[in-house]
Structure 1
Amino acid sequence: MQRVFVLDKNKRPLMPCHPARARELLKKGKAAVFRYHPFTIILKDRAGGDTQPTHVKIDPGSKITGVALIGNFKNGKKVIWSAEIQHRGQSIKKALDTRRALRRSRRNRKTRYRKARFDNRERSKDWLPPSLMSRVENILTWIKRMRHFALITGISMELVRFDTQKLQNPEIKGIEYQRGTLYGYEIKEYLLEKWGRKCVYCGKENVPLEIEHIIPKSKGGSDRISNLTLAFHECNQKKGNQSIEEFLANNPERLNQIKSESKKSLKDTAAVNATRWYLFNQLKKERLLIEVGTGGKTKYNRETQNYPKKHWIDAACVGESGQNVQIEPDMQVLEITAMGHGTRKMCNVDKYGFPRSHRRAKNAPNGVKGRTYMGYKTGDIVLAVIPKGKNAGIHIGRIAIRQQPNFKLNDLDGINPKYLRLLQRNDGYGYQTARKEGEKLLHSSYH
């Protein structure tokens, strides 16, 4: 069960408590809801108290980053809170591509004789593309937030996920430093991610998989990562030293799928490798003890403890401290999605890049000022108590405002703002979690 963050009356972090304890405090009026995501309560009449050190562990990823908060108890280390942060790097890149195309078109139409000025700009030494920087900023944001809600004494992060030189050419000189008890884990972990953790020939999942050469070595195939895949033992033996064209002659669709997948770039791996040192240097500024580990070590710890493959579980297993971590079977995960804070572009374009419409002015006739309306803005988390009608009942979720008092809440349309109660302002993230547990705790504070 995921713990609830607790603050004293001076807003200083205490030890996270069990949801049942938080529910009891809310019912007795000794605590109030301080924040909905992550669910945090604040005590009304207590200042200070006994706390135990906690350790935050992160598994940085290109698309999803796992986060786990570990508590040190007398009977061992336990995961007391976990989350998975979904990044928006790809959407940022797409938006920048659109902006670049639009600006290039406008310069070509309006100022094609103007001298180019792109050489006048300089980039800082530690510059990263915005799509990569957003990944780093998401992690840093949540590390800083968690320090407000829990007494964190250390950070663990997966610093080296994949060695791309070794992936591309295992015979490269100087790789002996990786040979040891973890040798091979880096390659297989990458293949598991790339091929979806299933046999490429029969599609079986949750079975032992073996590294298989698409072009057999007996026919000139190499150990390059583009020639490796994963196969079930029986499929591997059945294929033998046949070429993939011979083995899948009767299944051209799967043959084409494997060929196209094998040529997939190392884009996600490059994104992680490009940001890992920048993230590490930024975390050092938090002035906490930092532990680092490799992706191979993470997988080794996870498999020796028989835990399933999940991003937050990988985070809990990072480094040497991830060897003996207790995870409750009913552990719930907060799914965090980076949403951004809206758009700054003043002109909307069609699919061909031509202007289609312009943003509404702040002093619009219908009363809409900026991005807010009647004190609400899209992304706010609200409590709706609707007494009658088709949407009657108690609802909690994220709202989308309209240009009239007719908001959208989750999948419900036609919500009047007079029935809403603000729980949390839009902070640039969307949340999906054990909503039932959060609603139970929230209802305890209102009944």
Structure 2
Amino acid sequence: MLVFVVNKHGEALMPCPPRKARMLLNEGKAKIIGYQPFSIQLLYGSSGYKQSVKVGTKLGEKHIGIAVTSGDCVLMKGEVELRTDVKSLLETRKIYRRIRRQRKTRYRKARFLNRKKPKGWLPPSLESRTANTFRWINRFSSLLPNPTLHIEIGKFEVQKLINLSVGGVSQQLSNSEGYYNTRYFVFARDNYTCQVCKKKNKIVNTHQIISRTQGGSDRADNLITVCTDCHTSDNHRPGEIFWQWMQDGKKLRSYKEPPFTNSSRSRVYEQYPNVIISYGSETTSHRKLIGLEKSLVNDAIAITGISAIMRITGTTFMAKQFRKKKRSLHEATARKGRKQPNTNSRRNSKNTKASKGFFLNDEVQTRCGNIGYISGFTGKNACYVKSINGDYIVISGKTHKQQPLKGLVRRSHQGNWRYRLLHDA
């Protein structure tokens, strides 16, 4: 992937090849100003030759695709994975605070006095994803000379996705309208058929796909019909039929992405008044026209409106956001009555942020040559290392997940984003 360049006045220039960037750095004519993505700043005067540049962005619920094109060349392409655990973490914090209010500890203002929401308010989970999406768009746009921004947005009617014939007064009613309760609606939706063994004419129950302890609810989209023969405690154990059914990833169709896309559409217009908007039907036809397969990154390339691809970068960047620090104000176990004050309490061993010169989320290389990120420390001399996809990297021939710190080589120090360049196959 090309290296982004700005002149000594901070104005963006056209990206240069990595070899040219190394020469400038070795000769002392440039300095490094960023690693995500890698960018340099010239230390001598240069106006630079500028071309027309386009930035294409494919919005999604969990992933976004970004591509930069100029003429018939693809200069940069990649994928950003956003956090999806914000809602569950806030629910956990709410439970901790509710428990704390029942104890005789320091005073916290009542919640009913702070419920007024400002204009344009979004739920924290959507606000986090929207803000980080704009963050990456702004980052690449600031490193390019006068780029033209192209963003694909969607507009969905969720009830039409569920039932095409809905309309009029029925559009204002819930899906379970006319049923005794949600339980009988789920039975009718699944045709009184067990969703595990696919058998009918049996005694059936409703089961939560995602349990309440993991952030699930009793809504119809989280319930399935299961017969009494399959819905047993033994079948929930590892290796049994119901456990295997859940491991296969079988679940009902989710409609979370359309509302997120609808809510972010207005934010796009407010944030980027001069943006060029496109829709999925236009992107699909143009992607097929230029001969690209279906993927998030290829959609981002097609969004820019490139007519033909004569040259394309051989690397794809991947950025993934994760929760680096535990910022909860309250724990499940109260500190009332402990000898050590809460303000001077020691950090939990699971939340250790540094050990032996290594920090949480540092990019390291193991003895086997694998590259990963420190996800946590165990004791003082070992840690856990995960790949950018979230898989544990283990020592060859060993079954435990711990990696000794003395066998690691730190490549770079990272914040709460994991950033990697992956070579295309």
TM score, norm. by length of structure 1: 0.60
Kindly report which structure 2 residues correspond to 1:105-116, keeping only aligned pairs within 5 A, or say none: 105-107=99-101
Looking at structure 2, the residues matched to 152 and 374 of structure 1 have their Cα atoms a distance apart, in angstroms, of: 45
Q: Which residue of 1 aligns with 2:257?
A: 268
Would the aligned equivalents of 2:290 and 2:309 in 1 still touch at CA under 8 Å? no
Q: Percent sequence identity over matched residues?
A: 28
Looking at structure 2, the residues matched to 282 and 401 of structure 1 have their Cα atoms a distance apart, in angstroms, of: 37
Which letter maps to 1:274? S
Matching of residue 304 in structure 1 with residue 282 in structure 2: no
Q: Which residue of 2 aligns with 1:208?
A: none
Tell me the alpha carbon deviations over residues 81-116 of structure 1, each in whole angstroms, 9 at most, x when there is no partner. Answer: 122111112x111111211222233345669xx996
CA RMSD of aligned residues (A): 4.5
Would the aligned equivalents of 2:2 and 2:17 in 1 still touch at CA under 8 Å? yes
Indicate how the Cα distance of structure 1 residues 329 and 13 shifts in structure 2: closer, same or farther if over 3 A, else same.
closer
Indicate how the Cα distance of structure 1 residues 171 and 399 shifts in structure 2: closer, same or farther if over 3 A, else same.
closer
Tell me the alpha carbon deviations over residues 275-297 of structure 1, each in whole angstroms, 9 at most, x when there is no partner. Answer: 2212331233xxxx310011121
Looking at structure 2, the residues matched to 333 and 32 of structure 1 have their Cα atoms a distance apart, in angstroms, of: 24
**Given the alignment, which residue of 84, 93, 101 partners 2:79?**
84
Would the aligned equivalents of 1:333 and 1:434 in 2 still touch at CA under 8 Å? yes
Looking at structure 2, the residues matched to 154 and 25 of structure 1 have their Cα atoms a distance apart, in angstroms, of: 28
Which letter maps to 2:82? H
Q: Tell me, what secondary structure is at the counterpart of 1:326? A: coil
Tell me the alpha carbon deviations over residues 202-226 of structure 1, each in whole angstroms, 9 at most, x when there is no partner. Answer: xxxxxxxxxxxxxxxxxxxxxxxx9
Which letter maps to 1:306? G
Looking at structure 1, the residues matched to 128 and 39 of structure 2 have their Cα atoms a distance apart, in angstroms, of: 26
Q: Tell me, what secondary structure is at the counterpart of 2:153? A: strand
Kindly report which structure 2 residues correspond to 1:205-284, keeping only aligned pairs within 5 A, or say none: 263-284=252-273
Deviation at 1:406, TM superposition (A): 6.8
Which letter maps to 1:83? G
Matching of residue 334 in structure 1 with residue 317 in structure 2: yes
Indicate how the Cα distance of structure 1 residues 361 and 105 shifts in structure 2: closer, same or farther if over 3 A, else same.
closer
Deviation at 1:64, TM superposition (A): 0.4
Looking at structure 2, the residues matched to 34 and 24 of structure 1 have their Cα atoms a distance apart, in angstroms, of: 16
Matching of residue 132 in structure 1 with residue 142 in structure 2: no
Q: Which residue of 1 aligns with 2:419?
A: 431
Would the aligned equivalents of 2:55 and 2:141 in 1 still touch at CA under 8 Å? no
Tell me the alpha carbon deviations over residues 132-161 of structure 1, each in whole angstroms, 9 at most, x when there is no partner. Answer: 111111111112222332224321111225
Q: Which residue of 2 aligns with 1:150?
A: 144
Q: Which residue of 2 aligns with 1:97?
A: 91
Which letter maps to 2:44? D
State the number of aligned residues.
327
Which letter maps to 2:422? A
Deviation at 1:262, TM superposition (A): 8.2
Which letter maps to 2:50? T
Looking at structure 2, the residues matched to 335 and 414 of structure 1 have their Cα atoms a distance apart, in angstroms, of: 27
Looking at structure 2, the residues matched to 58 and 43 of structure 1 have their Cα atoms a distance apart, in angstroms, of: 28
Which letter maps to 1:21? K
Would the aligned equivalents of 1:51 and 1:151 in 2 still touch at CA under 8 Å? yes
Indicate how the Cα distance of structure 1 residues 424 and 262 shifts in structure 2: closer, same or farther if over 3 A, else same.
closer
Deviation at 1:298, TM superposition (A): 1.3
Q: Which residue of 1 aligns with 2:49?
A: 50
**Given the alignment, which residue of 275, 278, 281 partners 1:290?**
275
Looking at structure 1, the residues matched to 15 and 341 of structure 2 have their Cα atoms a distance apart, in angstroms, of: 45
Q: Which residue of 2 aligns with 1:37?
A: 36
Greater CA drift, 58-67 or 322-331: 322-331
Deviation at 1:381, TM superposition (A): 5.0
Q: Which residue of 2 aligns with 1:207?
A: none
Which letter maps to 2:137? I
Tell me the alpha carbon deviations over residues 186-208 of structure 1, each in whole angstroms, 9 at most, x when there is no partner. Answer: xxxxxxxxxxxxxxxxxxxxxxx
**Given the alignment, which residue of 157, 160, 164 partners 2:154?**
160
Looking at structure 2, the residues matched to 424 and 435 of structure 1 have their Cα atoms a distance apart, in angstroms, of: 22
Structure 2 unaligned segments of length 5 or more: list them: 169-220, 222-240, 387-392, 396-402
Indicate how the Cα distance of structure 1 residues 40 and 405 shifts in structure 2: closer, same or farther if over 3 A, else same.
farther
Looking at structure 1, the residues matched to 307 and 148 of structure 2 have their Cα atoms a distance apart, in angstroms, of: 17
Tell me the alpha carbon deviations over residues 23-64 of structure 1, each in whole angstroms, 9 at most, x when there is no partner. Answer: 444455544443222122333434331222322111110010
Q: Tell me, what secondary structure is at the counterpart of 2:147? A: strand
Would the aligned equivalents of 1:161 and 1:296 in 2 still touch at CA under 8 Å? no
Q: Which residue of 2 aligns with 1:235?
A: none
Deviation at 1:348, TM superposition (A): 4.0
Deviation at 1:344, TM superposition (A): 1.1
Looking at structure 1, the residues matched to 129 and 163 of structure 2 have their Cα atoms a distance apart, in angstroms, of: 28
Looking at structure 2, the residues matched to 296 and 148 of structure 1 have their Cα atoms a distance apart, in angstroms, of: 29
Indicate how the Cα distance of structure 1 residues 115 and 370 shifts in structure 2: closer, same or farther if over 3 A, else same.
closer
Deviation at 1:425, TM superposition (A): 5.0
Indicate how the Cα distance of structure 1 residues 115 and 337 shifts in structure 2: closer, same or farther if over 3 A, else same.
closer
TM score, norm. by length of structure 2: 0.62
Tell me the alpha carbon deviations over residues 150-184 of structure 1, each in whole angstroms, 9 at most, x when there is no partner. Answer: 2243211112254435423445679xxxxxxxxxx
Indicate how the Cα distance of structure 1 residues 147 and 263 shifts in structure 2: closer, same or farther if over 3 A, else same.
closer
Deviation at 1:399, TM superposition (A): 4.8
Would the aligned equivalents of 2:314 and 2:423 in 1 still touch at CA under 8 Å? no
Structure 1 unaligned segments of length 5 or more: list them: 175-225, 227-251, 385-389, 437-447
Q: Tell me, what secondary structure is at the counterpart of 1:122? A: coil
Q: Which residue of 1 aligns with 2:112?
A: 118
**Given the alignment, which residue of 360, 366, 371 partners 1:378?**
360
Would the aligned equivalents of 1:336 and 1:429 in 2 still touch at CA under 8 Å? yes
Looking at structure 2, the residues matched to 418 and 264 of structure 1 have their Cα atoms a distance apart, in angstroms, of: 43
Would the aligned equivalents of 2:52 and 2:147 in 1 still touch at CA under 8 Å? yes
Would the aligned equivalents of 1:408 and 1:415 in 2 still touch at CA under 8 Å? no
